[in-house]
Structure 1
Amino acid sequence: MTALVFDCDGVLADTERDGHLPAFNATFEHFGLPVRWSEDDYAEKLRIGGGKERMASLFADPEFARAVGVPDDERARAELLAGWHRYKTAQFKQLVADGRIPARPGIARVIAGALDAGWTVAVASTSAEESVRAVLAHAVGADAAAQVPVFAGDVVPAKKPDPGIYLLTVERLGLDPADTLVVEDSRNGLLAATRAGLRCLVTVNGYTREEDFAEAVLVVSELGDPGRPTVEVLANRGAADPGALITLDDLRACLVPEAVPTGSGPPRGEVQEPAEGGPA
């Protein structure tokens, strides 16, 4: 059975710029922390997998640690960090509830079509589970979301690019890796998928467009919807032949054997040059 596994942040919705960044900054302000991340600052923080881990990176700054009074005891530091992150998650969920984080084009259409076709659809993210479920329900509606299992948060010990979250998803759902396609938006996510032996389609966003996606079978600007500009194909190393938008047939074609190698190594097949114009 064909399976489609989505990342959350940057894939289901543009959550990073419109959700997580303002939620982090609201948290810093609430707790009186002497920091505020700009979009450029946050682009650097995105190299770190996981929200708590991004916050924990602040501890490396001695001036910040002194100003905040960060405890030396590891358990106390973990409790402090957990309190900040709980507040941040609540802020993020409120942004989702307020409709401030719209779904990315094509997400509702593709997930509904895949479920109707009898595919297995899942979400695998190392973000907080509460946040992931909120984004999913807002993106596809409560009925569709109820049919989509979610693997998220601290269910695995390491964040992406570690493959643990995808290995867990495959194991728990009894998926055949040969019939499973991952949809990601970042190099860390792509590496997590390919290191788990899975083929991966990448839908870039403003933070990730310039990253290296050499291992991806297909790289596009978005999944697309009727009435929107034609999807921009940034790289195609498989059998898909996308038109104005990505279809289930395109997704199936990404699973054609030997379309692209998993793991490291040079990609097979020709890479299409980015088309001029189209959405960024």
Structure 2
Amino acid sequence: MPSSSSCTMLLLPPNPSFSPRNPLSSLHTTLRLSPLRTSTTRTFSSSSSSSSSSTRPLSISASSRALRALIFDCDGVILESEHLHRQAYNDAFSHFNVLCPSSPSQPLNWGSDFYDQLQNRIGGGKPKMRWYFKEHGWPSSSIFETPPVDDTDRAKLIDTLQDWKTERYKEIIKSGTVETRPGVLRLMDEAKASGKKLAVCSAATKSSVILCLENLIGTERFQSLDCFLAGDDVKEKKPDPSIYVTAAKNLDLSGGDCLVVEDSVIGLQAATRAGMPCVVTYTSSTANQDFKDAIAIYPDLSNVRLKDLESLLQNVVAAN
């Protein structure tokens, strides 16, 4: 079992470019849009993304000549989960009759386009809700008849919503209708069979990630992971590199010995800021993001073998 503390489907056409009326505009985050791709490779530079974190990025050592660890994100990589999380949040808002000032006559409901942008820019469920309520007004609900005004009550509102949402998400995963994305299980098995270390690092709640992994990759694969980290295990969420820096330490490896598989710019930034090369397997909601710092970009992992990833990492080392 991992030494640390603590989830894929057919691709849809990419979402349209962000609208100028994007309700997330106040995030002051600009993502360069790029066309939908099949696959491509790029040279990785460990200094290409500067981190606002105090954590010092790991560097790729010139002596690192082989892939020693494969690290997977969960949501979006192991399974295409965005619509499942959105369903669970909207069910929670309905269950607790969450009424925001902008729409006081009906419970809050996050649309698919809005949620795609939200989840690609803010990691973690609680930060998502906290940002939304700060921007759109704190809601009334069956938890608090009037909108909470102090930090304690606001934290209680978010905690209650997140806990219920997590349980609802678990019910969806347990339904048996969710599958892993193409190629994931084969790559995991190839990595273990060749003696590579295998890890999963997810910003989601630990209990929900464990449920996803046990139901989707199976208990045996889950228990054979060399490292497993969830959002509960680090103070800062992606794009902060903490989760990947911690994984490298737990695996007793340098960042350059690891290869990360991510699906979004947030995850890509977290990996590169930790000094780890990263390949991207995008989803329908992340296909138009700018993955310029990825060493390879794939629509899915159907045709990607471990030997391909090993060659990529060797090329990275040679380029550095």
Where on the TM-score scale, by shorter chain, does this alignment land: which range?
A: 0.7 to 0.9
Distance 2:230 2:147 in 1: 28
Give SS of 1:82's match.
helix
Q: Is the 8 A contact 1:181 1:254 kept in 2?
A: no
Distance 1:32 1:252 in 2: 51
Distance 1:42 1:193 in 2: 23
CA shift digits 1:19-76 (9 cap, x unpaired):
2011111111111112101101201211111111112123224555367633222122
Distance 1:198 1:215 in 2: 11
> Structure 1 residue 137: deviation in Å?
1.8
Give SS of 2:316's match.
coil
Task: Give the one of 123, 135, 141 matched to 1:49.
Answer: 123
Amino acid at match of 1:133: I
Give the TM-score, by structure 1 length: 0.81
Q: Is the 8 A contact 2:82 2:116 kept in 1?
A: no
Say which is worse superposed, 197-206 or 100-109, in terms of deviation.
100-109
Q: Which runs of 5+ in 1 are unaligned?
A: 225-244, 263-280
Distance 1:64 1:74, change over 3 A: closer
Does the alignment pair 1:59 with 2:133? yes
**What's the RMSD between the two structures over aligned residues?**
1.9
**Which residue does the alignment assign to 2:242?**
164
Does the alignment pair 1:7 with 2:65? no
Q: Is the 8 A contact 1:217 1:260 kept in 2?
A: no
Distance 1:109 1:62, change over 3 A: closer
Q: Is the 8 A contact 1:10 1:185 kept in 2?
A: yes
Matches within 5 A, 1:86-105: 86-105=163-182
CA shift digits 1:193-237 (9 cap, x unpaired):
00000000100000000000000000000001xxxxxxxxxxxxx
Q: Which runs of 5+ in 2 are unaligned?
A: 1-66, 99-106
Amino acid at match of 1:22: Q
> Structure 1 residue 183: deviation in Å?
0.2
Does the alignment pair 1:255 with 2:313? yes
**Which residue does the alignment assign to 1:230?**
none
Higher RCO (CA-CA < 8 Å; seq separation 6+): 2
> Structure 1 residue 95: deviation in Å?
0.8
Does the alignment pair 1:186 with 2:264? yes
Distance 1:132 1:260, change over 3 A: farther
**Which residue does the alignment assign to 2:277?**
199
Give SS of 1:77's match.
helix
Distance 1:52 1:69 in 2: 20
Distance 1:82 1:147, change over 3 A: same
Distance 1:87 1:254, change over 3 A: same
**Which residue does the alignment assign to 2:162?**
85
Matches within 5 A, 1:1-280: 2-17=68-83, 19-33=84-98, 34-46=107-119, 47-61=121-135, 63-65=137-139, 69-148=146-225, 149-224=227-302, 245-258=303-316
Distance 1:261 1:100, change over 3 A: farther
> Structure 1 residue 109: deviation in Å?
1.0
Give SS of 2:279's match.
strand
Amino acid at match of 2:223: A
